[in-house]
Structure 1
Amino acid sequence: MTRNERRRGAAADPVDDATLALLVEVAGTPKPGNVDRRRDLADLRFEAFLGGAVGARPGLELAATRGTAGDPPGVGDAFERAVGGMADRAGTNTQFGCLLLLIPLARAAADPDRELSPDGVDSVCRATTVEDAVAFYRAFEAVDVAVDDPPPGADELDVRLGSDAEPALRERGTTLRDVMALSADPGDPETTEDPDRVPDRNAAEWVEGFPRTFRAAEWILTDEGPLADRAARAFLGLLAAEPDTLVASTQGAETARDASGRARAILEPEGDPSGPVGDVSGVDADVVRGADLDAAESLAEEFVAEGINPGTTADLTCAALFVALRRGAEVAP
């Protein structure tokens, strides 16, 4: 019996795979602009991410709990506990966005009535409640998170309000998926006050059935070599496909789109690097597998020097690693 056959037969714990995904994601290098095993940022160190992964585990365990009376613990409660544990152990925000994606994925993977698929995780997101939304807002009180202003007419639902937003959430009957839909909506470019707005890619996963996660998981599964290198190549593919939300929030949409174009130039040196592809389905898997990580090292140094930190792309890479691990990817050769 092969190692993969033993692993599949043993039905590896989703919590183990989620924790491992957090660790492999930060170990992958180079991921231009992000902390990895070779580089720290001025205010974030590699070991803080290791601590964050350990601290988040009780929340991940809650997400994978079926419950004793038939109803599992709320997704929002699991997320709040994971973020709180991360913050306590890391001392800062290391993996808030990763956990936002991992929690529903872990719930789908652990639920015998669902499967780890776009439909399975979409059903988890659609089943969220107002209580989940309230817990999600409380999680913002544990760490500082870079977010954009809320859409017009949604000031009472600004996540930066934390638990102060609870009355508005309850009055409106806003579920956690509803909150994600607000953040994922790009708005009408002809009428919005910010026609260049980059929508929240993590929130979009919640609303769209995690297309970026599952596409990048395919890249990782069909790639070869060390898993951390495959993750680094998937990171480049995701960044080339769409502008990063965190970069857009901190440095503007134009910088975010330029960063995607520079990642695309690594993947396709002879192509047009003028901007992102526009959709993750437009990135060819063979192109991702052939990404030159040596060339990406130079881009990593440039991004760090310029303060360009594609953190949302790292979140998506972590989620993709989880799916790949659940589907048989190994850290051992």
Structure 2
Amino acid sequence: MNSCYKIQPSEVARSAQLAMILEVSASPKPGNIDRTHDYVDTCYEHFLASATGVYPVIERAASGKEKIGQLLKEAVLESNKWQKGGNTHFGAFLLLLPLAKAAGQLSQENETFDMKKMVERAHWIVKHTDVEDSINFYQAFGKANVCVQDVEDLDLNDSDSITILRKNQTSLFELMEISENYDMIAKEWTHGFELCCRCSEQITDLMEEKGTCTDINCSIVYTFLKLLSKNPDTFIQTKFNRETAVEVSEKATAIVTQIEACGYEATLPSIIELDEELLKKKINPGSTADIIIGGLFLSIMGGMRF
């Protein structure tokens, strides 16, 4: 974006919407819903409805001082209001809301866009969450019907956990610290959105013709596979087990190696084969998709166009 132009909250929100829409539209993205693949109870259009419905919450994140936990709960409510496909973007909201809040704060301070500044501010924001954010997170979780691993002594489906949170004054950041070893999204919070930044850099480089792909669909699919190859998906790990997550990453590694040797178009049959295999087994790298959304948001905010 023009360094002299003050970014408006509406632009931050539209950037987040576009990131969600581009991610779910990219195809073939092995194991996940896209414009050519649906699940039995959740389909492509549910994701589009969620991305559209959440707009006012992200705009408020970029324009006001509302807390992350409250925004997260409201984002889930808005998502559910506009579609009946269940959880579509819970992990993505956990990434987008602090990033959008950071973008809005920097714009209000007349700072020019800089990815490093944005993620540093987002990291500062999540570090300063409190117990009320944790409670809103639990309440949002209950409404989103998310498949996650429980946090130590805290059962994410048990209302008594809120009492424990309040008693211990456990902040949302502290919950993420507890979860970081088995949840990629939590680790993004505690490690300064590191993987989101890497994805953004790769997508931007590819779109600037510095690699294998030059169109947006190829850039997203290739970045998705590369991220998956290096980071076993923790949603798969929670839904199945660690071994399954590692096996999927190994298959993604083989495809990335093939892309780098033979090119994207020549490797498409292998990508489609893995996609069909994972869909048949109902193995979906959902956390990987969420991080791709975060990376796309950073790239779009940085001026990437196609």
- TM over 0.5: same fold? yes
Name the structure 2 match of 1:11.
Answer: 7
1:149 to partner: Cα distance: 3.1
Cα distance in 2, alignment partners of residues 8 and 220 from structure 1: 24
Cα distance in 2, alignment partners of residues 288 and 121 from structure 1: 37
Name the structure 1 match of 2:257.
Answer: 268
Name the structure 2 match of 1:305.
Answer: 280
> Could you say what secondary structure the match of 2:143 adopts?
coil
Structure 1 segment 1-333 matched on structure 2, within 5 A? 9=5, 11=7, 13-66=11-64, 72-91=65-84, 92-112=86-106, 116-117=115-116, 118-151=119-152, 155=153, 157-161=154-158, 163-184=159-180, 186=181, 199-224=182-207, 225-269=214-258, 287=260, 291=264, 292-330=267-305, 332=306
Residues 122-179 of structure 1: per-residue CA shift (max 9 Å, x gap): 111111111111111110221211011332xxx2x32222x54222111111111011
- Conservation of the 8 A alpha-carbon contact between 1:52 and 1:85: yes
Q: How many residues end up aligned between the 2 structures? A: 288
Residues 63/116 of structure 1: CA separation in 2 closer, same or farther (3 Å cut): farther
> Could you say what secondary structure the match of 1:166 adopts?
helix
Cα distance in 2, alignment partners of residues 56 and 100 from structure 1: 13
- Aligned identity (percent) is 34
Q: TM-score, normalised by structure 2?
A: 0.88
Cα distance in 2, alignment partners of residues 130 and 164 from structure 1: 15
Cα distance in 1, alignment partners of residues 189 and 262 from structure 2: 27
Residues 194-247 of structure 1: per-residue CA shift (max 9 Å, x gap): xxxxx1000000001011000010000000333233111111111001110111
State the 4+ residue runs in structure 1 displaced beyond 6 angstroms.
none
> Could you say what secondary structure the match of 1:141 adopts?
helix
Cα distance in 1, alignment partners of residues 243 and 216 from structure 2: 32
- Conservation of the 8 A alpha-carbon contact between 1:22 and 1:53: yes
1:304 to partner: Cα distance: 0.5
1:10 to partner: Cα distance: 6.6
Aligned CA RMSD, in angstroms, stands at 2.2
- Conservation of the 8 A alpha-carbon contact between 1:237 and 1:288: no
Read off the aligned partner of 1:171 and give its amino acid letter.
K
Cα distance in 1, alignment partners of residues 285 and 70 from structure 2: 27
Structure 1, unaligned runs of 5 or more:
67-71, 187-198, 271-286
Residues 288-324 of structure 1: per-residue CA shift (max 9 Å, x gap): 9955444311211111012111000000111110001
Structure 2, unaligned runs of 5 or more:
208-213
Cα distance in 2, alignment partners of residues 290 and 122 from structure 1: 36
Structure with the larger helix share: 2
